[in-house]
Amino acid sequence: MDWHARLFPGESNGGKVTPDDLDAALGLPGITALTVCGLDQKSFEHLAVRYRTTLTAIHFWKCPRIEDLSPLEEMSALTHVAFFWNQRATRLWDLRKTTGLRGLHFDDFTRLRDLSDLETGVGLVELAFGNAVWTTFALPSLGPLSGLSNLKALHFNLKKVADGSIAPLARLTGLRELEFSPNLFTTDQLAWLRARLPMEVSSSVLQPFRMLAQPVTRGSKELDVLVAGKGKPLLSTRADSAKLQRYVAAFNDALSKYAADPDLEPEVAG
């Protein structure tokens, strides 16, 4: 029996999923996961109340009309929640109420301005958020992430962090995987974070450079490398070998500097 229900509305109903649609899809025994598109607030609240003890994983795919996520606080069985595209919600929910939540993923929230609700998500093991299609998601600070001591994997894609500080990430010493927008912080900040986190952390950002999956052609050059840090260039491993080595040396020098002095702090990105 399939444990995963998938519910995508047709155009005949205006692209909306009704409470009756939910009951029809989730009425079979053994269903613990749902992927759903087209929920409005009323249907969302019906889902949260009626299936609060049975659903463990939900992917809200294109449910832009949900404006209040607090009904999720009723869903005591949840372990994983994902959202793609929301135009109305201005906050998440009180994560203290969903104590079993281990994975949270939310992309393209056009009205969400800070992550203060995440401070209570201390059980989270996996967290991903930010821009997927749109490129406008910015935050005042990464501070709310600093207490998430159980995080093993963190991915985020942001336009900007207003306070320019990378420091909250250094407190996530349980991390094993970290990826974020490569132009958010300076090379110096990235080297500092590399020195502060355990070496077991896998991250393409905390390296002197990374290879591009899809090289960019400019004139006669094929640019296949992105140098780490805010404002750093794309380079060609063939044509720019000497320049690339200078960037690598500068990164490694900064890394050695910060590794040698635990009290040394980098300048905040402007």
Domain count, the chain: 2
Cβ atoms of 135 and 112 within 8 Å: the answer is no
What is the domain extent for residue 62?
A: 1-163
% of the chain beyond a pLDDT of 90? 93
CA 73 to chain centre: 21
% of the chain beyond a pLDDT of 70? 98
Residues 192 and 143 in one domain: no
Q: For position 2, which CATH number holds?
A: 3.80.10.10
- Please report the pLDDT score of residue 2 as a whole number: 82
Residues 92 and 67 in one domain: yes
Mean pLDDT, range 217-240, rounded to an integer: 95
Q: Please identify, among 147, 163, 179, the residue that sits at the C-terminal boundary of a domain.
A: 163
Residues 110 and 210 in one domain: no
**pLDDT at position 12 over 70:** no
Cβ atoms of 164 and 190 within 8 Å: the answer is no
Burial per residue of 228-253, b for 16 or more beta-carbon CB atoms within 10 angstroms, e otherwise: bbbebebbbeeebeeebeebeebbee
Residues 182 and 257 in one domain: yes
Dist. CA 47–CA 57, nearest whole Å: 12
- Please report the pLDDT score of residue 269 as a whole number: 80
H-helix or E-strand spanning residue 25: helix 19-26
Residues 51 and 149 in one domain: yes
Residues 194 and 179 in one domain: yes
- Please report the pLDDT score of residue 13 as a whole number: 56
Dist. CA 187–CA 194, nearest whole Å: 11
Residues 114 and 151 in one domain: yes
Residues 82 and 201 in one domain: no
Q: Please identify, among 97, 130, 163, the residue that sits at the C-terminal boundary of a domain.
A: 163
Dist. CA 32–CA 29, nearest whole Å: 9
List CB contacts of 82: < 8 A, sequence separation 6 or more.
58, 59, 60, 61, 103, 104, 105, 106
> Would you say how long the chain is, in residues?
270
When pLDDT is cut at 50, 70 and 90, the band that residue 9 belongs to is confident
**How does pLDDT run across 40-93, given as a tens digit for each residue?**
999 999 999 999 999 999 999 999 999 999 999 999 999 999 999 999 999 999
Cβ atoms of 78 and 54 within 8 Å: the answer is no
Residues 17 and 150 in one domain: yes
Mean pLDDT, range 250-268, rounded to an integer: 97
Dist. CA 85–CA 107, nearest whole Å: 6
DSSP, res 205: S
Token readout for 75 is: 């869903």
Dist. CA 170–CA 18, nearest whole Å: 44
- The model's pTM: 0.95
Q: Please identify, among 113, 144, 163, the residue that sits at the C-terminal boundary of a domain.
A: 163
Residues 130 and 200 in one domain: no
Residues 99 and 16 in one domain: yes
Residues 112 and 84 in one domain: yes
